[in-house]
Amino acid sequence: MALAFIAYEKMLVSTADESLERSIAVLPFEDMSPDKSQGYFGDGIAEEILNSLARLNQLVVISRTSSFNFKDSNTDIRDIGQQLNVNYVLEGSVRKDKSQLRITAQLIEVTSGAHIWSQTYDRTLNSIFAVQDELTYAITQALKLNLLPDQVEHEAGMTSNPEAYELFIQGRELAYRRSSDSLEQAADILQQAIELDPQFYLAKAQLHVVYGLALFYGGFTEELRQSETERLFWELLAAPDFPLKTLVMATQAENNSTLAISRVLYQQAYEQAPNDPLIQNVSTLRLDNYQDMILRREQILKTNPQSQVNMSNLGFLYLVTEQPDKAQAVLSRMERLFPDNSLNFVSNLYFSYAYQQDIEATLALINDYRGEPSADYRRAKSSVNILSGNIDTALDYMAEELRQSPDYAEQFLGAFLLLLDLDMRGKLNEQQRLRFQQLPVSESTQSELLTYYKLLLGDETLYEQQQQLAGVSAEEFMQRVDLNRSEPYDYAAIKKRKGDGSYAQVLQTSLADANSLCQQTQNKVGWWCADLMYFTGDISLQQTQSMFKRQPMLDTDLIGIEKFILTAPAFYGMSLHPEFEALANDFLNRTFRKWNPDLVPENTTE
């Protein structure tokens, strides 16, 4: 091993320019295997080298998300370096045939295109860890970082079992795809890796992440997801410290409502691995100050300049802090880099619908989109067509999508509520009403829809009956309801308005962080902030009035919810204002009534 490290001088083709910043992008290694089935292996090796380099303070290393955007790209290395704003690029290839490996790598100086180092390694799979160390160390020496071999470290929690390692990088690659199927496959493969090495803590942390992602992308029952994350958490307590473990600890603390501890742990995870894309995003989302979030995301752009997630979140933050010009600049950058991408669509939806409240521009955005349909796209296409008066178009689209997958029903919740309201008030024609009733939706979904609709009208009786809440104490209430849904909060708000504030009181702890963010931006996040402050009783008349004077952000998850502003519990905080009804009607006249006169009655008695 020592001889291999010392021999790096023989591999140098040129020398690094000492006047240049030591900034590097590690591209995914090309799969040169006979059957082209080992792409995950080349990606995994490149990522491990990237992670090792990122732990060195002397280097600026571009995050995986941005570097791996150039996978299978024919873009010139000099162009890649310029786009990522680095002076050096590492590229390579892997040929794996059973247990035999050939890894080739070359370090290129961007401006000149010169190869300052290159080497080919012929090894067996059993020596994969040694060759990664050799390669990483050779790069540091080519860049004249003057390190000793033992300063190139493995990440804590890694295995020494090559078979477990190969399964790990395969499972991790599947997890990056973030679909229900890929997460199920990732969990199965990571579990196989853990069976080969029960002390493989990095694989356990990655498996915990997989179950966490399933909350948003599906793939497991909620019971299994919760039991597995709990089991993995306890097993990881015995592990040495490493960034992904810290992230798991932070997530568990958050799930247990120990928010102060979770915030500290999220920050620690970021400090341990500021280049890790997942840690970058999750830890930044947990900051409790919008200006801090903006500064962090602007900083992330330097090491992750092509992260769609980071740019999308940054654009949103610019909007909620009233910086539309900066938001537009981010949107233009995303459009240039990721045309017809689903996240790009969401970001433009924030701008045209939520911020500008331009229904025609929003409809054009939907009609012009040529990317892969996502949940956000389905929500927008169905609801925005209803808001625009295109009821038949919405019904056609929903019927077609639901025939393909009944699971899409949840994505059409906003559209269902709008259609149900139009139906209840006799605003659908006979054919539209029949088509609405014939949409392939389960009885349980129809029941939940009607219950939620009643809550939006300020009527809690149906929900109270279904949950058997009549006469229960606040403590029993907390045990019976699902706090991950909005209905308990609407129910508590209605009960408070009717004189029983005990349910709202017990919910205050779970709302503390969100309420803090609302206060910081004078409620610019959305009008639901008024509902949060209604629970705590600290909303002022000046705050409620300011919510009408500014340009509020409309909800892009439950599109059209603001049409219920005169009755829905989410807006009770604003209704404390003596001029609420007049201000609310003025808003409705500028938006929903203007877009489609049938959406909202001209007065509250219809």
Within a domain: 185: no
Residue 524: pLDDT band by 50, 70, 90 thresholds? very low
140 in Cβ contact with 54 (< 8 Å): no
Beta carbons within 8 Å of 188's beta carbon, 6+ residues apart: 171
Q: Which residue, 154, 184, 216, sits at the end of a domain? A: 154
Q: Looking at 486-553, which runs of residues are DSSP E strands?
A: none
Within a domain: 429: no
3-state secondary structure of 445: helix
How many domains are there within the chain? 2
SS3 content of the chain, % helix, strand, coil (to 5): 65, 5, 30
Within a domain: 43: yes
- Cα within 13 Å of Cα(1), Cβ side: 12
Within a domain: 515: yes
Q: Please give the mean pLDDT across all residues of the chain.
A: 87
At 8 the pLDDT is: 42
* Dihedral, CA of residue 592, residue 596, residue 602 and residue 603, to nearest 10: -50
Within a domain: 46: yes
Q: Which residue, 121, 154, 187, sits at the end of a domain? A: 154
What distance in Å separates the CA atoms of residue 443 and residue 261, rounded to the nearest whole number?
Answer: 42
For residue 240, list its beta bridge partners: none
Average pLDDT over residues 220-244: 93
What distance in Å separates the CA atoms of residue 61 and residue 274, rounded to the nearest whole number?
Answer: 10
Least confident interval from 142-151, 188-197, 488-497, 567-576: 142-151
Helical (H) or strand (E) element with 102:
strand 100-109
Please give the residue range of the domain that contains residue 473.
469-595
In the numeric block, which tokens belong to residue 230?
């709990």
**β 23-26/88-97 pair status:** parallel
For residue 569, list its beta bridge partners: none
pLDDT in tens, 442-479: 999 999 999 999 999 999 999 999 999 999 999 999 98
DSSP string, 223-257: HHHHHHHHHHHHHHTTSPP-HHHHHHHHHHHHHTT
For residue 12, list its beta bridge partners: 117
Beta carbons within 8 Å of 479's beta carbon, 6+ residues apart: none
At 210 the pLDDT is: 95
Q: How far is CA 206 from the centre of its chain?
A: 17
Within a domain: 145: yes
3-state secondary structure of 25: strand
Within a domain: 444: no
Amino acid at 244: L
pLDDT in tens, 306-361: 999 999 999 999 988 889 999 999 999 999 998 888 888 999 999 999 999 999 99
Average pLDDT over residues 115-137: 86
Within a domain: 117: yes
Q: Which residue, 122, 154, 186, sits at the end of a domain? A: 154
Sign for the pseudo-dihedral over CA of 487, 491, 496, 502: negative
CATH number for the domain that contains residue 124: 3.40.50.10070
pLDDT in tens, 403-435: 998 888 989 999 999 999 999 999 999 999 999
